[in-house]
Chain A
Amino acid sequence: MPENRTITLRINGRDEEGRFPAHRTLLEALRQLGHMEVKCGCEKGDCGACAVLVDGMAVDSCLTLAWTADGREVTTVSGLGDLDSPHPLQQAFADGGAAQCGYCIPGIIVAAKAIIDENPEPSEDDIRLGLSGNLCRCTGYTKIFEAIADAAAVMRAEGGEP
Chain B
Amino acid sequence: MSRTESDAGARPNVQFRQVGKPLTRTDAPGKVTGRTPYAGDYVMPNTLHMRVLRADVASARLTRLDVSKARALKGVACVLTAADMPDRTSATDIPGQTGQKRLDTDQPILVKDRVRYFGEPLALIAAETRDIADHAAELIEFELEPIPGVYDPLEALKPGAALVYGADNIVAERKIRKGDIEAGFAEADLVIENTYKTPFQEHAFLEPEVGLAWVDENDVVNIRVSTQVIEHFRPIADAIGVPHNKVRVRGALVGGGFGGKEDLTVEVYLALLAKHTGRPVRLEYSREDSFVGHGKRHPFVLTYRTGVTNEGKITAMDVQMIADAGAYVFLSPYVVLYALVAAPGPYRVDNLNVFARAVATNNMYTSAFRGFGALQACAAYEQQMDEIAGTLGIDRLELRRRNFLKTGEPMSTGFVPPSAIWTEQCAEQAWAALGEPAPVQGPIRTGRGLACYQQSYGRLTFLHDTSEAWVGVEMDGTVVVRSGVTDIGAGQISALGQIAVEVLGVTLDNVVIYNSDSAVTPLAGTTTATRALYMTGNAAKQAAETLRARLVERAAREFGVEAGDVDMAFNEVFVIDRPEKTMPLVNLVRICAAEGIHRSELAIFRAPFGDFLDPETGQGQAHPDYAYGAHAVEVSVDVETGEVEVLKSIAAHDVGQCINPAAVEGQIQGGAQNGQGYALSEEMLYEEGRLVTPSFSEYLMPTAMDMPRVECIILESRSGVGPFGAKGIGEPAMTAVAPAIANAVADAIGVRVFEMPITPERVVRALQQRDAS
> Which residues on A are within 8 Å of B, measured CB to CB?
36-44, 46-47, 49, 76-78, 81-83, 86, 89-91, 93-106, 109, 127-129, 131-132, 134-145
Contacts and interface: CB of A to CB of B under 8 A. Distances in A.
Contacts of B705: 128-129, 132
5 smallest beta-carbon distances between A and B, as pairs = A37-B34, A101-B489, A102-B31, A103-B255, A97-B662
A140 B35 contact: no
B695 A109 contact: no
B36 interface: yes
Interface in B661-698: 662-663, 665-674, 695-697
A82 B36 CA distance: 12
Contacts of B666: 97-98, 100, 138-139, 143
B631 interface: no
B206 A136 contact: yes
Nearest to B205: A137
A94 B29 contact: yes
Contact of B669 (A49, A106, A135, A142): A142
Contacts of A129: 705
Contact of B695 (A38, A44, A77, A142): A44
Contact of A140 (B203, B489, B673, B696): B673
B312 interface: no
Contacts of A106: 34
B709 interface: yes
B695 A42 contact: yes
B727 interface: no
Interface stretch (B20-28, B103-111, B354-362, B435-443): B20-28
A3 to B, nearest CB: 14
A94 B29 CA distance: 6
B488 A99 contact: no
Given A89-B32, A100-B490, A101-B207, 11 more contacts: A39-B38, A90-B33, A94-B32, A97-B22, A99-B31, A100-B667, A101-B205, A102-B255, A128-B705, A136-B206, A140-B710
Contact of A47 (B28, B37, B696, B710): B696
A96 B254 CA distance: 20
B204 A127 contact: no
A100 to B, nearest CB: 4
B669 A140 contact: yes
A78 B37 CA distance: 13
Interface of B: 22, 24-25, 27-38, 40-41, 203-208, 253-258, 284, 286-287, 488-491, 660, 662-663, 665-674, 695-697, 701-705, 707, 709-710
Contact of A139 (B32, B38, B673): B673
B767 to A, nearest CB: 29
Main secondary structure of the interface of A (DSSP, over half): loop
Contacts of A131: 703-704
Contacts of A42: 287, 695-696
A93 B667 CA distance: 15
14 contacts: A36-B37, A36-B41, A47-B206, A94-B25, A94-B32, A97-B663, A101-B254, A101-B255, A102-B253, A104-B206, A135-B696, A140-B670, A141-B669, A144-B704
Contacts of B208: 40-41
Contact of A83 (B33, B490, B663, B707): B33
B704 A93 contact: no
B697 A139 contact: no
A47 B206 CA distance: 8
A142 to B, nearest CB: 5
Contacts of A40: 40, 208, 284
Contacts of B38: 39, 103
A37 B35 contact: yes
A100 B491 contact: yes
Contacts of A91: 32
B35 A135 contact: no
A127 B168 CA distance: 53
B622 to A, nearest CB: 28
Contacts of B34: 36-38, 76-78, 106
Contacts of B256: 101, 103, 137-138
Contacts of B704: 127-128, 131-132, 134, 136, 141, 144-145
B206 A39 contact: yes
A2 to B, nearest CB: 9
Contacts of B695: 42, 44, 46
Nearest to B287: A42
A61 to B, nearest CB: 13
Contacts of B24: 94-95, 97
A132 B700 CA distance: 12
Contact of B33 (A77, A132, A136): A77
B31 A105 contact: yes
A135 B665 contact: no
A83 B284 CA distance: 28
